[in-house]
Amino acid sequence: MPAPDPAERPPGDRHVPVLLDRCVELLAPALQPRADGAAPVVVDTTLGMGGHSEALLERLPAARLVAIDRDPQALAIAGARLERFGERATLVRAVYDELPDVLADLRVREVHGVLMDLGVSSLQLDEVDRGFSYARDAPLDMRMDPTSGLTAADVLNTYDARDLSRVLHVYGEEKFARRIADNVVRDRAREPFSGTLRLVDLVRDSIPAAARRTGGNPAKRTFQALRIEVNGELDALRAAVPAALDALAVGGRLVVMSYQSLEDRIVKQTLAAATTSTAPPGLPFEPPEHAPRFQLLTRGAERAGEDELASNPRSAPVRLRAAERVRPGRVPAPGGRA
């Protein structure tokens, strides 16, 4: 018999959390029982189907979880998965850059761990009608919250060639962005775009044959760019990482997993600002108020090992970075001051 289609299995069964053991290992020191008896709080800002959250609650029994996701389907699946933990798990529908508001609503003054698993989730990739995958024909949607906002079809059918080219070039790092954009504008005059495979065919035909021989499916950069534009992902991330750092208590830890260079660059720059002294150069000593608020827990970005890659191919592009708060104080913006 042929192997069952992953998209036809129950969502929880097909979800393999990326770098699960490493995430728990990095967060565990901050989520031990506290001297005052209060539960340490860990925030999963990208709940998805709840694999990471479930492991944190199982392995760190002192911890209380606040989990955030914008996708109502993900919240329903993860909610059923985490129901056995009762009041230890609080699930909130929100985007991760709304973290300060979520914590304020819950009257949580500070947290002790934050996990951010960025990008598109396994649920969204495997649910064909969400339109995130270029492997099958589906409506061009790509919204992480399917109840609101522009769809990918809206972007393709309404942006002019210049704006569409900008999206593909900046968010997809696509060398042939203008050629693809011009062809989209030409073809939509005949018939608006509605399905993924028509876009895949157009992208393939827009890229020279020599450039299609390497790098996988030539449509992947276009799909990445449209997804980022539809969901405002990079703008949300630029706000979310500093917000997560600011929410951490001294000794608290942040773990971020990125899956493409644009995400990782934002995370790297924000952590660099948080772990760098703000003292003017040339001072004979570092005033305490200028000392870094955080220290890095990883050297560069960590990658998935061979065993993980064999069991979970979707871990191939992951870049993991982590930091720990060592002093109080607000986090400086990249290139700025506290």
Residues forming beta bridges with residue 258, ordered by sequence position: 319
Flag whether 295 is marked binding.
Answer: no
Flag whether 124 is marked binding.
Answer: yes
> Which residue has tokens 């990739």?
125
Nearest to 31 by CA among 67, 4, 65, 79: 65
Polymer length in residues for the chain: 338
What span, in angstroms and rounded, lies between the C-alpha atoms of 112 and 25?
A: 14
Flag whether 172 is marked binding.
Answer: no
Flag whether 224 is marked binding.
Answer: no
> Which residue has tokens 């955030």?
68
Three-state SS string over 121-160 comes to: CHHHHHCHHHCCCCCCCCECCCCCCCCCCCCHHHHHHHCC
Beta strand 111-117 with 248-258 is: parallel
> Measuring CA to CA, how many Å separate 190 from each of 10, 186, 193, 197, 264?
39, 7, 10, 17, 39
Element (H, E) at 321: strand 319-325
- Residue 177, both tokens: 């962005």
Alpha helices by DSSP H, listed for the chain, are 11-14, 20-27, 51-59, 72-82, 99-105, 122-126, 152-158, 161-172, 177-190, 196-206, 220-231, 233-247, 261-274, 306-311
Flag whether 52 is marked binding.
Answer: yes
What span, in angstroms and rounded, lies between the C-alpha atoms of 228 and 223?
A: 9
Angle of helix 196-206 relative to helix 220-231, nearest 10 degrees?
130
Torsion angle of the four alpha carbons 127, 132, 134, 138, in this order, in degrees rounded to the nearest 10: 60
Residue list for the binding site? 50-52, 69, 96, 117, 124
Please enumerate, by residue number, every residue annotated as part of a binding site for S-adenosyl-L-methionine.
Answer: 50-52, 69, 96, 117, 124
